[in-house]
Structure 1
Amino acid sequence: MLNTLRKIVQEVNAAKDLKAALGIIVQRVKETMGTQVCSVYLLDPESNRFVLMATDGLNKRSIGKVSMAPNEGLVGLVGTREEPLNLENASEHPRYRYFAETGEERYASFLGSPIIHHRRVMGVLVVQQKERRQFDEGEEAFLVTMSAQLAGVIAHAEATGSIRGLGKQGKGIQEAKFVGVPGSPGAAIGTAMVMLPPADLEVVPDKSVADIDAELQLFQSALEGVRADMRSLSERMATQLRPEERALFDVYQMMLEDAALGNEVVKVIKTGQWAQGALRHVVSEHINRFELMDDAYLRERASDVRDLGRRLLAYLQQARQQTLVYPDNCILVAEELSPAMLGEVPEGKLVGLVSVQGSGNSHVAIFARAMGIPTVMGAVELPYSKIDGIQLIVDGYHGEVFTNPSEILRKQYADVVEEDRQLTKGLDALRALPCETLDGHHMPLWVNTGLLADVVRAQERGAEGVGLYRTEVPFMIKDRFPSEKEQLAIYREQLAAFHPLPVTMRTLDVGGDKALSYFPIKEDNPFLGWRGIRVTLDHPEIFLVQVRAMLKASEGLDNLRILLPMISGIQELEESLHLIHRAWGEVRDEGTDVPLPPIGVMIEIPAAVYQTRDLARQVDFLSVGSNDLTQYLLAVDRNNPRVADLYDFLHPAVLQALTKVVEDAHAEGKPVSICGEMAGDPAAAVLLMAMGFDCLSMNATNLPKVKWLLRQISMGKAKDLLSQVMRIDNPQVIHSTLQLALRNLGLGRMINPASDIQA
């Protein structure tokens, strides 16, 4: 049965359109199960009726004509109950309905299974037989499995618009929604431009050659061609990105250097292998090495290598790529977007990005946020190869992509895009104003930084300090651990840029979805594994060098704060403090006179929530990492699009944990801040302020919106709102209550322009 299933799925996936796919399914299922009839009924949302769309065994002329409402017939019953129905004698069932045109009175036994995609009933798959018999469990399981396969096929057909013509008016299902993860906030309406790989390395065969010099010459020409392409792409993006953000093109250039990827290919060619085969061999090895890490950041490096490999192969094949014509309002779609692809779109045309692979932490997502382009990552079910040229809506707030949107949805999102534009324009005036509520409560707004360009953005938006400097970013763009001297220079630049404002530097936080190519971590469950402080305590040589560099960098500036990530108990904290004091002693012995900076702990593991007071006694401040704390409290991987809708920082458990942390920290007389996506969400920021957080730290892009909202509300009103939502047990109701309350104050649509849309 499994083998048969595999073959049917392959055949269905190769079908040219939905009609052909349905024809294959009814024919193959009928053969496999040995029944006399197999039929597919699809739910037409316009008429809300199940329409017979394909059959093998019933009268073919009844296709498209026979239909039933959800409260009619056995098919309607299967659809409304959303579970299989297995009957020995269908005509005895009270819901049985006879259709003369199908000729189905001859069939006694009936087995129907609902076709469901993302909780939405799309149709019903039915088999029937003349003899009275109960279908066994194996047959029922097979039909349920086929229904699940069919759901994906129908969803793809909706996306590409090939279901049109289902309803009597000839419109049928057009609009389809695909869920991914938010990559960069904002909304965009435009035309899909699918970037398919120009050359397929995987199908390149091995071939021995006699003229090795000719192959070497061929490869050198390809290298030069791709180097030139990278230089021109980098120059073309000069007006859109700051120099430090274009550094990824330098990473590409470094990979192409003779000492890196280029040299390895040359070595393989010299063994007698032709250039294309040598390239495939080297690139595959690199990709396999990175992808074995099962890690988001390393997968990005793998996609960089894959992208370079394809470009080199295109030159080797002397593939004259046709000049691509990019549409206005172009939404770039690819299985795996690379930073180079962004640079190929003419300036002013790119409005949105969709990547089937990747997460909100990938290189492309970082670039997109820097450029302010709405982006959805991880849209795994989007049939990307078939949607070139169709209309799309990208909702970067919620991580959703709509294909073939209706006029109503287009109008709603057009309003969102315009409101976003007006809002950004209006917020520029807030830069020099304090973040102060209507009743005089000052709420310090700090920023999270990592890229050098974040410094400029933070200063442009009036940040009062850095609540989280991600020190792993400089580690990630190198191919080895940076030396103490290199780290010192990077940290000094960051501290000097914000002086005299405080800069909170988190010690190296790798593992989970962040790893280093030269320090591989392979684990079945990386988020519950070797990450954060666990890695650096196991490698004190890395930790000591980093802390020494931070301390030396702060000489004469005295605005450094050190933050320890992923602390799960007192022992880890005591070991960390011991190492920091040791590094401080060494630095002073070397003649660098710096005071011991304030030291803090990140509260991001549930265990730390319940030890807040114990931890607070030993440090100077606490900082909640809302992204990880939410993920651990709810047991939801925040990078997994399949459970993205369960990840919600307004979940009652998260709000209760945060309230406890603030109360316990303040009971010990210690300040507590919060960093992460939650702090940058304007509506959530109102609740966090009311809880008593001493500081909110966020992405610089979100800071003006948060400041605007907090300046429009009083602390008293914020506390009333908090008290109201703390009595609610459902996150959806909390969202609605918050939106309604802010809308009643005239502030609703400004905090998330896409919040009203019900698609």
Structure 2
Amino acid sequence: MLNMLNTLRRIVQEVNSAKDLASALKIIVRRVREAMETHVCSVYLLNPDTDRYELMATEGLNQDAVGVVSLGSNEGLIGYVGIREEPVNLEDAAAHPRFRYFAETGEERYASFLGVPIIHHRRVMGVLVIQQKERRQFDEVEESFLVTMSAQLAGVIAHAEATGAMRGLGWSGEVIQDTRFDAVPGAPGIAMGRAVVMLPPADLKAVPDKEIKDIDAEIALYRKAVEAVRVDIKRLSAKLSAQLRPEELALFDVYLMMLDDSSLGNEIIKGIREGQWAQGALRDVINAHVARFELMDDPYLQERASDIKDLGRRLLACLQEAGRQRLVFPKRTILVAEELTPAMLGEVPKDRLVGLVSVLGSGSSHVAILARAMGIPTVMGAVDLPYLRMDKLELIVDGNAGEVYSNPSQELRRHYRELIREEMELSHGLEKLRAEPCITLDGHRVPLWVNTGLFADIARSLDRGAEGVGLYRTEVPFMIQDRFPSEKEQQATYREQLQAFHPLPVTMRTLDVGGDKALSYFPIKEDNPFLGWRGIRVTLDHPEIFLVQIRAMLKASEGLDNLRIMLPMISSVYEVEDALHLIHRAYSEVLDEGVKVPMPPVGVMIEVPAAVYQARELVQLVDFLSVGTNDLTQYLLAVDRNNPRVADLYHSLHPAVLQALQIVSRACREAGKPMSVCGEMAGDPAAAVLLLAMGCDMLSMNATNLPRVKWLLRQISLSDAQALLEVALQQDNAYLVQSILHLALRNMGLGKVLMPVR
């Protein structure tokens, strides 16, 4: 078995290094035939355009048959394997009723047949076949080896197919266009431009071991490299300083801090003193730190690993005295990288950067946060993207839907140019609604609030007529520092936010870390962070953090009186009771200090199923409930919302989500207390119609979507919305709910502001 595993590993490595799909398939059939000691190994791929299996490579059959022999998707034993989507193992293939004879292949000489499907993301891509002259049943070990081989190769074949498609060629040589790669939306908007692939400046994996004698000279060399990188990072920080506030630029300070002797530097110098040259010591320390972070299975901490890797590469480039390759940035640059880092954004002149694409990362990574603040359309988690082959290609980045298109046709370009034009026209058209209230045709008033976190959000929110802040993410000031901010620092940040929106209400969520949001200086290592120590669970365990934050909020609100406090990740009544006890304690301390502030309203976020079913009890304890639909959808459907592999399963219009919202709405109505929604669902105009019908008292969303939602809700009556809700609640499928909703709204002439259907 061990030998089988080693063989498998070697084949996959060899296939991975193949230059194109044809070469990869030739390696597969040759190596698998050798490993399994059979007479024939062949690969048939299913051409999606013709719906036929084509013989793409063979060892043992007539080579002239390659590219000539093809079968319909339901023909022959190959089609039979594809339809069954499982192995077919036959002692006498010719005797099977589905056997089809091709004179070109000469396969009548082969009696036994084992075929396994090649499946990638539920799509049957082809069939891998081995054949033997003698009549015999292939045994279980052989069958399991071929199944394992096929599973490994599915991704390789998909990658090779994608690489060809991206360059405008199908695997049989035909010209194709509009190749789409799915990803996770990072920052909204559409970008059209040319790809610039940002490669790491140096490869740490390629550094060999080397002993040195002059230790002092080697340490001096290392310190010179550190100084060069320090200057470089400060230069990049200065380039972005006009666009970002100091707290956001603190991301670069994290890099500078890591360069200090008390951080990575100390360990690297220790390695040099032990006789290792600077490059080897750097490699060892960086790899050890990266491995530690990557093992944590926490998306945010993995972002820290990418920061350390980026820093290591920069130091190595200086040590090698190679410097970075001077990249040429076209007028409309779309920056593409395996792992985009904040430092990379500073490499591109800001008037040339129009879009970002990252193979790794999620909507919560540093880059996505900065991209949203800078208004750059971004997609993250494009896991199937062959990014190394994308340099200089024309791309379209759809940050709304989380899609990247390569080799776009004139028709697709026209479509997206029209979307950009419509978006600009719509934005200008909606600007006049800025001062208008959001009132339905039959006089029902729905205040529209915004979700904020970055300094850049304030101006954008006020420009779009926000009537308050439904969610201020207080973790952002924590995330962009290398330590817990002090009470005074927090007070200054919160005051800025409260003043900017005064007299409008500002709802501040208490520190919400854990899950996909962690602090580099407060690491949370867990096997399942989303079901672990996060939100209120962390702050109740650390009252010293919670009390400081509440005091800072209360003091920041002095004379403004527009503060509301919200508690995240609540799953039980006693958590609310404990939190309220601490809030009242902090309030007493603030009053004792002579600060005169009224007690602000306190609310609970409904994000987990337990809170839904205890909404009646929870609403009795607080002043309002606010539903965080992003997490609620994630927890109800057991789908990681940052994972592109299961993106199709994540849908806020799922019947279970709608029913949960109904339960919360009913609890608030019975208690006579307000209910708001502050998840992405509130910013989807069609979904907002259903939330209006459910009795939501206010909707909070990102500022970009607010004018769209306002326009639609002003064009519809509450009674029409309630009729649509009634129909939606009878459906058993999220996509059906969305289709019915969109069709009804389009028939009412309200389709222009609808979000694209996934």
Shorter-chain TM-score tier: over 0.9
Bigger CA drift: 140-149 or 548-557?
140-149
Aligned counterpart, 2:122: 119
Bigger CA drift: 410-419 or 617-626?
410-419
2:60 corresponds, among 54, 57, 60, to 57
Which amino acid letter does the alignment assign opposite residue 757 of structure 2?
S
Which amino acid letter does the alignment assign opposite residue 333 of structure 2?
C
1:662 corresponds, among 650, 662, 665, to 665
CA RMSD of aligned residues (A): 2.4
1:533 corresponds, among 533, 536, 541, to 536
Aligned counterpart, 2:376: 373
Assess, with a 3 A threshold, how the Cα gap between structure 1 residues 328 and 93 changes in structure 2: closer, same or farther: farther
1:739 corresponds, among 719, 736, 742, to 742
Aligned counterpart, 2:702: 699
2:523 corresponds, among 515, 520, 524, to 520
1:467 corresponds, among 467, 470, 481, to 470
Offset of residue 569 of structure 1: 1.2
Assess, with a 3 A threshold, how the Cα gap between structure 1 residues 167 and 320 changes in structure 2: closer, same or farther: closer
Aligned counterpart, 2:157: 154
Correspondence 1:307-706 to 2 at 5 A: 307-706=310-709
Offset of residue 273 of structure 1: 4.4
Secondary structure of 2:640's counterpart equals coil
Bigger CA drift: 737-746 or 726-735?
737-746
2:29 corresponds, among 15, 26, 47, to 26
Query: In the aligned structure 1, how far is the partner of 2:184 from the partner of 2:404?
Result: 10
Tell me the TM-score normalized by structure 1: 0.94
Aligned counterpart, 2:105: 102
Consecutive unaligned residues in structure 1, runs of 5 or more: none
Query: In the aligned structure 2, how far is the partner of 1:452 from the partner of 1:264?
Result: 36
Cα deviation code 1:643-698 (max 9, x no counterpart): 11111111000001001101111101110111111111121111111111111111
Aligned counterpart, 1:195: 198
Bigger CA drift: 661-670 or 378-387?
378-387
Q: Is the 8 A contact 1:45 1:172 kept in 2?
A: no
State whether structure 2 residue 13 is matched by structure 1 residue 10: yes
Calculate percent identity across the aligned residue pairs: 71
Q: Is the 8 A contact 2:374 2:456 kept in 1?
A: no
Bigger CA drift: 322-331 or 251-260?
251-260
Secondary structure of 1:53's counterpart equals strand
Bigger CA drift: 606-615 or 243-252?
243-252
Offset of residue 717 of structure 1: 1.9
Cα deviation code 1:512-542 (max 9, x no counterpart): 1111122221111111111111111112222
Q: Is the 8 A contact 1:188 1:352 kept in 2?
A: yes
Secondary structure of 1:512's counterpart equals coil
Offset of residue 319 of structure 1: 0.7
Offset of residue 485 of structure 1: 2.1
Aligned counterpart, 1:236: 239
Offset of residue 201 of structure 1: 2.1
Assess, with a 3 A threshold, how the Cα gap between structure 1 residues 164 and 602 changes in structure 2: closer, same or farther: closer
Which amino acid letter does the alignment assign opposite residue 555 of structure 1?
E
Offset of residue 79 of structure 1: 2.5
Query: In the aligned structure 2, how far is the partner of 1:565 from the partner of 1:354?
Result: 31
Consecutive unaligned residues in structure 2, runs of 5 or more: none
Cα deviation code 1:256-303 (max 9, x no counterpart): 456554565456545654332343344334434443443222222222
Secondary structure of 2:16's counterpart equals helix
Bigger CA drift: 355-364 or 179-188?
179-188
Q: Is the 8 A contact 1:749 1:755 kept in 2?
A: no
Offset of residue 750 of structure 1: 2.7
Number of residue-to-residue matches in the alignment: 754
Query: In the aligned structure 1, how far is the partner of 2:504 from the partner of 2:603?
Result: 17
Offset of residue 410 of structure 1: 4.2
Q: Is the 8 A contact 2:603 2:625 kept in 1?
A: yes
Secondary structure of 2:709's counterpart equals helix
Cα deviation code 1:676-726 (max 9, x no counterpart): 111111211111111111111111222222222222222222222111111
Q: Is the 8 A contact 2:536 2:569 kept in 1?
A: yes
State whether structure 2 residue 78 is matched by structure 1 residue 75: yes
Assess, with a 3 A threshold, how the Cα gap between structure 1 residues 327 and 149 changes in structure 2: closer, same or farther: farther
1:179 corresponds, among 174, 182, 190, to 182
Correspondence 1:253-332 to 2 at 5 A: 253-257=256-260, 260-262=263-265, 265-266=268-269, 268-269=271-272, 273-332=276-335
Offset of residue 57 of structure 1: 0.5
Secondary structure of 1:75's counterpart equals helix
Query: In the aligned structure 2, how far is the partner of 1:391 from the partner of 1:141?
Result: 42
Offset of residue 503 of structure 1: 1.1
Query: In the aligned structure 2, how far is the partner of 1:265 from the partner of 1:429?
Result: 59
Q: Is the 8 A contact 1:161 1:174 kept in 2?
A: no
Query: In the aligned structure 1, how far is the partner of 2:306 from the partner of 2:290?
Result: 8
Q: Is the 8 A contact 1:164 1:174 kept in 2?
A: yes
Which amino acid letter does the alignment assign opposite residue 389 of structure 2?
K
Aligned counterpart, 1:755: 757
Offset of residue 244 of structure 1: 5.0
1:223 corresponds, among 207, 222, 226, to 226
Which amino acid letter does the alignment assign opposite residue 45 of structure 1?
P
Bigger CA drift: 216-225 or 404-413?
404-413
Offset of residue 366 of structure 1: 1.0
Offset of residue 74 of structure 1: 1.8
Offset of residue 80 of structure 1: 3.3
Assess, with a 3 A threshold, how the Cα gap between structure 1 residues 346 and 587 changes in structure 2: closer, same or farther: closer
Tell me the TM-score normalized by structure 2: 0.94
State whether structure 2 residue 169 is matched by structure 1 residue 136: no
Assess, with a 3 A threshold, how the Cα gap between structure 1 residues 422 and 243 changes in structure 2: closer, same or farther: farther
Query: In the aligned structure 1, how far is the partner of 2:27 from the partner of 2:171?
Result: 22
State whether structure 2 residue 710 is matched by structure 1 residue 726: no
Q: Is the 8 A contact 1:193 1:331 kept in 2?
A: yes
Bigger CA drift: 607-616 or 322-331?
322-331
Offset of residue 231 of structure 1: 3.4
Cα deviation code 1:55-86 (max 9, x no counterpart): 00110011111112223222222233333322
Cα deviation code 1:131-168 (max 9, x no counterpart): 22222333222222222233222221222217977688
Offset of residue 409 of structure 1: 4.1
Assess, with a 3 A threshold, how the Cα gap between structure 1 residues 422 and 86 changes in structure 2: closer, same or farther: farther
Secondary structure of 2:682's counterpart equals coil
Aligned counterpart, 1:87: 90
Query: In the aligned structure 1, how far is the partner of 2:424 from the partner of 2:89?
Result: 56
Offset of residue 440 of structure 1: 2.3
Offset of residue 565 of structure 1: 1.1
Query: In the aligned structure 1, how far is the partner of 2:405 from the partner of 2:38?
Result: 38
Query: In the aligned structure 2, how far is the partner of 1:463 from the partner of 1:707?
Result: 10
Secondary structure of 2:339's counterpart equals coil
Assess, with a 3 A threshold, how the Cα gap between structure 1 residues 375 and 254 changes in structure 2: closer, same or farther: same
